Amino acid sequence: MEPIVTITSGAVRGHTEAGVTRFLGVPYAAAPVGPKRFQLPRAFPAWDGVREATRMGATCAQAPYPAPIHALIGSDGIPGDEYLNANVWTPDPGASGLPVLVWIHGGAFVRGSNARTIYDGTAFARDGVVMVGINYRLGVSGFAEIEGAPSNRGLHDQIFALGWVRENIAAFGGDPDNVTIFGESAGAMSVAALIAAPQTAGLFRRAIMQSGNGVVAADAEDARTVSAALAAELGISATAADFGALGPDELRTAQNAVALAVMTDPDPERWGHSVIQLGGGIMSLFPVVDHDIVEGSPTEVLRAHPDRAVPLIAGTTADEFRFFTVPTGLAAAVTADTLPFVLARYGIDLAVAQTYSTERPDASPAEIFNAILTDRTFRAGTYDFAEANAITAPTHVYEFAWPTTIPGLGACHVLEVPFVFDTIDEAHSLTGPTPPQTLADEIHAAWVRFATDGTADWAAFTAAEKNVRIFDAPESSTVTDPRSAELAALRATVTPA
């Protein structure tokens, strides 16, 4: 069956299979090519006739993941200019009033797309939710701070896409007044920025943050330092005109070179303290304080504007940072002798490691290092944002604790995603061959319930009572203020990134 719906720019034809209809690669904004690459998003030109929407659309130009990470999750790369597109899965395009989930993918603001297999929205549509996955500008195109170009173009794309959803989701059976945004990693950091942004009022009702934080917002001057390095790599001036004259391959090559320089020489005096502290050497291009969309760190903005809070689920995996250190071999290099030096690189006092070692007497130095960086980069910043949000809106916090059977990774970054989407059969390179379906059933159902009516079946998180749902197999549980001694030691000496 090939149903046709009409949206603001024209008619699109989807495909129905097993009770779920997919509309793939539907453009929500004009192709950002040439000088337009560094301009605000604009409406896609209207078309005549019926546009086919049965295949994934283009993705923003990007480099593949390094081989060890690629082996776990693959890479993205569908060529084409019309990469500001959306995928929509619906149980019935002829319905009305269905809850809506809008997915914002991760990838450190330089990689990722809505075309990834584990982001397939079939299970959400099967369970009565219209799911939308969006692309946005990445890397230099989306986040480089360039003279003559608006800041945070990738975030502007996300807001533009949410406006497109509000205008068009009823055509797919969805309720524009019952939209929940959710994202993972850079997508979750985007969610925090969107909650705090004044321009998003009325565009969504609830939010879910998976493995992000509420502090990522670079100082504009630091961001310009990175852009100057990009321009020097390309032999141009750091202006929108010069950058706009280049193609995506040239931009990507320079972006990769600068990202490698930041990782190998994470000197805050060279790159700026906010880039190194907040990016942690992993991210060199990410949202910038522009006093427009991003008025400051999302957590601080939310504390100053509690009226912007929305019902929220936020959480992390138990072993986030192992994803970045185990496959790449960095973890193997962390020993009792090297631990003080690698902690110092991140500005962490050795006394913090002593507390973690006391709390985890059987943990190796590498496991201690990963636990500290997990908390510094993800958990502490998630708790802080959740606490600020909880002042005026219902807030629920979780931890995904089930460990993959892939050696050394534990409950690493990205691992919860296929469970949320109920796509674990497509993720065995990350989960191992026998992930527990019961856990996927549980966490997927929790997201469906929250998107439907804003409720969760575990106790809320507040400053006074930090309840956390531990998603695990064979059984999940709710605990209060887990590993508080470790977080206290971390906060005493380090500002969470």
pLDDT tens digits, 398-440? 999 999 999 999 999 999 999 999 999 999 999 999 999 999 9
Looking at residue 265, its pLDDT comes to 81
Looking at residue 497, its pLDDT comes to 60
Residue 429 · residue 73 · CB < 8 Å:
yes
User: C-alpha distances in angstroms, 100 versus 131, 176, 440?
Assistant: 6, 8, 20
CA atoms of 166 and 54, how far apart (whole Å): 22
Looking at residue 142, its pLDDT comes to 97
Average pLDDT over residues 310-330: 96
- Confidence label for 397 from pLDDT (cuts 50, 70 and 90): very high
Instruction: Return the ∠ at Cα 5 (arms to 3 and 7), rounded to 5°.
Output: 160
Instruction: Return the ∠ at Cα 399 (arms to 469 and 191), rounded to 5°.
Output: 105
Give the dihedral of Cα atoms 139, 142, 145, 146; nearest 10 deg: 110
Q: Is the pLDDT of residue 91 over 70?
A: yes
Looking at residue 193, its pLDDT comes to 98
Identify any residues that bridge with 313 across adjacent strands, giving them in sequence order. 208, 396
Residue 175 phi, psi (nearest 5) = -100, 110
Looking at residue 496, its pLDDT comes to 62
CA atoms of 323 and 108, how far apart (whole Å): 13
pTM attached to this predicted model: 0.97
Looking at residue 276, its pLDDT comes to 80
More confident residue, 18 or 281: 18
Q: Is the pLDDT of residue 32 over 80?
A: yes
The secondary structure of 381-415 as a DSSP string is HHHHHHHHHTTTS-EEEEEE-PPPSSTTT-S-TTT
Residues with a known catalytic role: 185, 320, 413
Average pLDDT over residues 313-342: 95
Q: Is the pLDDT of residue 176 over 90?
A: yes
Q: Is the dihedral of CA 336, 340, 341, 342 positive or negative?
A: positive
Average confidence score pLDDT of the chain: 95
CATH number for the segment(s) 311-493: 3.40.50.1820
The secondary structure of 449-486 as a DSSP string is HHHHHS--SSPPB-SS-BEEEEE-SS--EEEESTTHHH
Average pLDDT over residues 90-119: 97
Residue 328 Cα to chain centre, angstroms = 21
SS3 state at 174:
strand
Place of tokens 């500005």: 347
Looking at residue 263, its pLDDT comes to 81
Q: Is the pLDDT of residue 450 over 80?
A: yes
Percent of the chain exceeding pLDDT 70 equals 99
Radius of gyration of the chain (CA): 21
Average pLDDT over residues 363-385: 96
pLDDT tens across 271-290, in order?
A: 888 888 888 777 899 999 99
Question: H or E element: which one contains 244?
Answer: helix 240-244
DSSP 8-class letter at 171:
G
Q: Is the pLDDT of residue 48 over 90?
A: yes
Looking at residue 495, its pLDDT comes to 61
- Confidence label for 86 from pLDDT (cuts 50, 70 and 90): very high
Q: Is the pLDDT of residue 269 over 90?
A: no
